[in-house]
Amino acid sequence: MAKAVVQSDVFQAEIDFLHEVRALAEDQTIPEAKVKENYKALCNKYERLIGEAKLLTSVSDRLHSKLNEANEKLKKQFDEINKINDDLKVNNQLLQDTIDQLVKAKVGRKASSIVLLIAIILFIISEGLLEPLVEQEFGNDQIGFIFKLGIAILLKPIDVIVERYMMRKALKSNSSRVINH
């Protein structure tokens, strides 16, 4: 509302003068000298108005040009930001894949160590406890060999089970660390 009032105030003097000149133009009794005087004043005011219109147009054109340049610059920056975001997404995915591979390798090493320990324990139990009992009962060395073969065959499923358990534990630990940060 305030802008409308200010704009009409800016042109109020010209509007008043226009009403005055129109009223004089319709009055048939005005002397010719007065008509010429009003005509010159009207020409002067019109010339000043054209100058102001040219100035306003020039300023408006410059502002429009600057606005277009700013919009173009913003669009380029927006495109650059989008490209950087896309690159970051790709890099984040690569980083996450690398972290997952490292966690899997670490878990695999730990699982292999645990399975090796379990194999040693089973071998000791087999050699120290089971084999002497089997030889006493059956008197056959092949049954001891079958126990050792069974232990060797069980090592891979044990390795898979231990690795899966440790992987779930590691993933749960990583997800809780991500949530806490």
Contacts 24+ apart (CB under 8 A), 15-19: 17/41, 17/42, 17/45
Name the least confident of 24-33, 42-51, 80-89, 130-139: 130-139
1 occurs within a structural domain: no
Q: Match 């509007």 to its residue by tokens.
A: 15
For 73-93, give one letter per residue: b (16+ CB within 10 A) or e: eeeeeeeeeeeeeeeeeeeee
* Domain coverage including residue 163: 90-181
Q: Are residues 174 and 94 in the same domain?
A: yes
Give yes or no for residue 179 having a pLDDT over 70.
Answer: no
Give yes or no for residue 22 having a pLDDT over 80.
Answer: yes
Q: Are residues 174 and 117 in the same domain?
A: yes
79 occurs within a structural domain: no
| Averaged pLDDT, 21-47 | 84
Model confidence at 138, pLDDT cuts 50, 70, 90, reads: confident
Q: Are residues 60 and 147 in the same domain?
A: no
Q: Are residues 177 and 95 in the same domain?
A: yes
* Cα–Cα distance for residue pair 13/1, rounded to 1 Å: 20
4 occurs within a structural domain: no
Give the total number of structural domains in the chain: 2
pLDDT, tens digit (0-9, with 9 covering 90-100), for 109-129: 888 888 888 888 888 887 787
Give yes or no for residue 147 having a pLDDT over 80.
Answer: no
pLDDT, tens digit (0-9, with 9 covering 90-100), for 43-63: 998 898 899 889 999 999 999
Q: Are residues 69 and 97 in the same domain?
A: no
Decide: residue 115, CB within 10 A, 0-12 exposed, 13-18 middle, 19+ buried.
Answer: buried
